[in-house]
Every structure is written in C-alpha cells, then in structure tokens.
A and B are shown apart, each in its own frame.
Chain A
Amino acid sequence: MSAEPDFDVIVVGAGVAGCITAYQLAGRGLSVALIDRGETPGAKNLSGGVLYTHPLQQVFPDFLQTAPIERRISRNQICFLNQDSSVAIDYRDARLDRDGTAVSVLRGRLDPWLAERCEDAGVLVMPGVRVDSLLIEDGRVVGVVAGEDELRARVTVAADGVNSFLARDAGLRPAPQPHQLAVGVKAVVQLPSDIIEARFGVDALEGAAIAVVGDCTRGVGGGGFIYTNQGSISVGVVLRLDDLTAKGLRSTEVFDGFLDHPYTERLLRGGELLEYGCHLVAEGGQAMVGELVHHGLVIVGDAAGMTINTGLTVRGMDLAAGAAIAAAVGVAEAIETGDVTAAGLAGYPKALAAGFVGQDLQTYARAPKFLENPRMYESYGPLLADALHQVFGLDGSARKPLRRVAMDALKGSGIGVGTIVKDAWQGARAL
C-alpha cells in the first residue's frame, strides 16, 4: 500500500444504490464519503416513479411515514393503446394501499431525503463533484480521481448509474449494447390533487399507475407510463435504442404523439408542464449484470445493469436498494477481515444471489428476449380491440358466437393461432 486511505469506503453516486450502501456502511461504524456530480443529490436523476418499498422499509422502518412519498399506488392498469381504441385491465386492491407495497416518488425529493439520512448516520456527503476515473494501482482500485484530487479508500463503490463510466473506462465492464438500453423521455405535469383523484378514480393519498403498450411508442419496443403524484402526473415513454434507430423515428416525435393521443390528453388536460427530462434505462436484465466485484471495487444498481423491465413494470429502484443491502454486507466483511480482493468481497454477490434481487433477475432472465417480439407492440392491441368490437359494437347485424368472434379477429390480424400460442407460452415462461 502506497498511501493511507482517506476513508474506509468511497461511494460514487448518491442515487438509491449509492445512498443506501453508504447509509448501511456508516451504520456499521465505517468512515464513508458519498460523492455526486449533481449540485445536490438527486439533481441528475430521473425515474418513472413507482417504487416498490419493501427493501426501503427494511433499511428505514419509518420509510412510509417519513420519506417524501407522493401517493400509495392502490390501482394498477395495463392498457393496450391503439390509434382509435384502447383495451385495459384494471387492478385495484386495498391490500396494496394498506401495506404501502408501491408508492410514487419524484427523485428530486427522494434522493435528497436519502442523502440526509446518510449525513445523519455520519456519511460525508460531497455534492457537486464529478469523479473522473477510478484510481488504480497495480491492478487494484484504491480510490477515485476528481480533477486535481485523489481520494483513497479501502473499498470504492461504483453506484454511478446506467452509463457506468467508471467501471467501463477502467476496462472492468463492456459498453452496453443498444438492445440493452432504452431511452426514457418524461414530463411532469402539474394538476390539482382533486382533479387527479377524480380522473384516476382514487382517494386522497392513493394513486394509480398505468402501463401502456402499443401505439404510445409507434410500434417501437418499449412502452408508456402514466403515474400519479400528489399534485402532478409523471408521463413518459421508454424506447429501446436498437428499435428506435432501426425505425428511424425521432424520440421527441414518439413522446409528443403519446402526450397528444386522446387517451393521454384526457388525463392531462389543463395541466401545466413542470419539467421535461430523459434518462437511459438498463433493459438487458441478468445478461447485462456481469462481474460485480474487483480488487477494491464493487458495482451496484444501474451501474451493474440491475433493472428488470417486464413490459408492465420497470423495476430499478427496488433492485438498487436490494443490491445496496447486499453490497454493504460484502464490503463490511471485507474491511473487517482486511481482504478487499475480489475473493474477499465475494460476500456481496453471494448475498445478492440469495436475496430477492438475484432471484428476480433469474426469474425474469428471459424477459428481454420476449420483449423484443414486435407483435407485443404492433399486433395484440388491435387484435383485442377488434374482438371486443364484435361484442360491444352492436349495429343491427347478427351476432356471432364468441369463438367465431375470436377466430375472425385473429384472421383479421394476420397472426396465426400457432404464433399466438407460441407467444403466450414464451410470455408465460419469461414473465
């Protein structure tokens, strides 16, 4: 060792992954620095906004009472959107509200709260600092470089988000491929609470989350989302980059089309734009995760591609939190034993695999491949609407039995029965 470390642990990135890792390590009595390039923590971060709370409740037992939560999501809708029609599944459950299973959040409020909890736990929070690279000596990560400064630590945590430049530039991770990434384009639209509650059919403090498939992306792999906050709506699209570039569409054109679609327009009418943003989503699932530990370094959250997109839910924040819990276990163990080699840090991947993050990544390992199926975005929405039009679109012509209705809709769609059965089977296996 050339120089004494300045900290036991340096965490780069004050998002969900970095804050929770830092918080837990400080709680174990270690000296921790948490660095973020934003003017304040959270200033660079954006998500759709539905947070599954169980790992946060595990770390902060008072999370539901004290965190800046927008609404408890008690109503989930899945909507197949076509040009002139839509078909939705509507799921409400009092249990979701009672347990606070999922809540809507805005990162501009959640992340500063998390960073504050870190400060209370003794973490040195350093906003407004961009880390330029990892500090590497003899193949070991011994800290970070920021401008003229070198900061040394026993273990460095790369929680720097989906672009993962720190590990990438050090040759420790490959650059993600366009099919493993999607761009999310989002607006936050202000509306009075009572209007939100009336339009989305929820009570005060309760919220709705709508996942949209189909015309919202003009057939590009991905989907749309409409989530309720306390006094605003989060609305956006997620577009897979390989498909977006192949179709040659402009991301803004797709996004604008979704906001202007009558379905969306009715929900947003009269609203005022508060903020417009975009951010990449890791879409590669388990195949994208790769090596999580190196000598002196662990990688957590989006920096390790830990997001699961099932087409109906984008989950990244809960996985980031779950990974942070596992990483804190591994890092604390390594520092305690004085072995910060990849082998010494192996407690992290082990804890991760045993917990819900590893298990869910495994369960949904086939999802990315399944979601590359273009029929998901182009064919099934119109097929459903055509079948329902046969049932509800009474016009004096004689009705057909339901099985004929289904067969006719199928014929009209040009998809064979065999293909549907195959897609259904693959969907059931992937999701």
Chain B
Amino acid sequence: MKLPPIEARLAGNRFVLDEEESHIEIDQELARSTGTAERIIACCPAGVYSRRPDGEVAVEYAACLECGTCLAVSSPGALRWRYPRGGFGVQYREG
C-alpha cells in the first residue's frame, strides 16, 4: 500500500506538543562540516530534518518519534538530543 507523505502519515499519531522547549538542538557549523546533516536528514523516519534554502538544517521537533537514530549517527557535538520533558512528545496508542 502507498502511505501518504510524512506529515499526513503522522496525523494519525497522538502528540503532546511541548510549546516551551525543543528537545533537539543542532550545531549548524559542526553538522555541516562532519556530514551529520546529510546523515540525519536521510535516517530520520519522521522527516524532522530538512535542508533550508540557505543550506542550514531545519528541525521540526514536534514531529519527532523519539527513536534516537539521529543522535546515534551524528558526530560528537553536532546534535544535542534528549527525551522531551515527561508527558510530552509522541504517545503511541498501538506501539
């Protein structure tokens, strides 16, 4: 079956958005120089990362499914990623 594009695909999931705090911070300089940018854009199953016209990486943290893949493939220091605050973020109903 063909699934809809990522945003529509995530529409069926339940998210509790933390409006005050992003759990992802990116060091644009390091992400570029280490190749982390390409890796996280390609690996993230939720399409959180994308390339902006100015070459920097945009981070749509609200769509994060909290797997930790981006952190695992990033070079040291390029990404600061932690779990969202308690009760926030994706809340799976099926799992």
Contact = CB atoms under 8 A, between A and B. Distances in A.
Interface of A: 37-40, 42-47, 106-111, 127-130, 146-147, 162-163, 165, 175-176, 178, 181, 183, 185, 187-189, 232, 241, 244-245, 248-252, 255-256, 259-260, 264-265, 268-269, 271, 273-280
Contact of B3 (A39, A130, A276): A276
B47 A252 contact: yes
User: 8 shortest A-B CB distances, which residue pairs?
Assistant: A107-B95, A128-B87, A130-B86, A278-B45, A108-B95, A43-B91, A188-B94, A275-B94
Contacts of B94: 106-108, 188, 232, 274-275, 277
Contacts of B38: 248
Size category of the B interface is 35 or more
B89 to A, nearest CB: 8
A277 B73 contact: no
B91 A280 contact: no
Contacts of B58: none
A108 B67 CA distance: 16
Interface of B: 1-4, 6, 9-10, 12-13, 16, 38-39, 42-47, 65-69, 71-73, 82-87, 89-95
Contacts of A241: 43, 69, 72-73
A42 B2 contact: no
Contacts of B45: 183, 185, 251-252, 255, 278
B91 A38 contact: yes
28 contacts: A37-B86, A37-B87, A38-B87, A39-B16, A44-B90, A45-B92, A108-B95, A127-B87, A146-B86, A163-B71, A175-B72, A178-B73, A183-B67, A189-B1, A245-B39, A245-B42, A252-B47, A255-B45, A256-B2, A256-B3, A259-B3, A260-B1, A260-B2, A275-B92, A276-B9, A276-B13, A279-B67, A280-B68
Nearest to A229: B94
The SS class assigned to the A binding surface is: mixed
A37 B68 CA distance: 15
Contacts of A147: 86
A175 B73 CA distance: 11
Contact of A40 (B47, B85, B91): B91
B50 to A, nearest CB: 12
Given A107-B92, A273-B9, A278 B69 contact: yes
Given A42-B95, A188-B94, A276-B9, 11 more contacts: A37-B86, A38-B87, A43-B90, A165-B83, A185-B45, A187-B3, A241-B73, A245-B73, A248-B38, A259-B2, A264-B1
Majority secondary structure of chain B interface residues (helix, strand, loop or mixed): loop
Q: Which of B2, B39, B45, B95 has its CB near the most chain A CB atoms (within 10 A)?
A: B95
Contacts of B65: 276-279
B87 to A, nearest CB: 4
A210 to B, nearest CB: 16
Contact of B95 (A111, A163, A176): A111
A245 B87 CA distance: 32
A244 B43 contact: yes
Contacts of A244: 42-43
Contacts of A127: 87
Nearest to B4: A273
Contacts of A275: 12-13, 92-95
A274 B92 contact: no
A128 B90 contact: no
A248 B86 contact: no
A46 B83 contact: no
B43 A106 contact: no
B41 to A, nearest CB: 8
Contacts of A260: 1-2
Q: Which of B73, B91, B94 has the most CB of A within 10 A?
A: B94
Contacts of A162: 68
A264 B2 CA distance: 11
Contact of A106 (B12, B69, B86, B95): B95
B92 A277 contact: yes
A99 to B, nearest CB: 25
A259 B13 CA distance: 19
Contacts of B66: 44
Given A40-B91, A107-B95, A241-B43, A265 B1 contact: yes
B77 to A, nearest CB: 13
A259 B45 CA distance: 14
Contacts of B84: 37, 130
B80 to A, nearest CB: 12
A176 B67 CA distance: 14
Given A130-B85, A265-B1, A276-B12, A46 B42 contact: no
Given A276-B13, A277-B65, A178 B44 contact: no
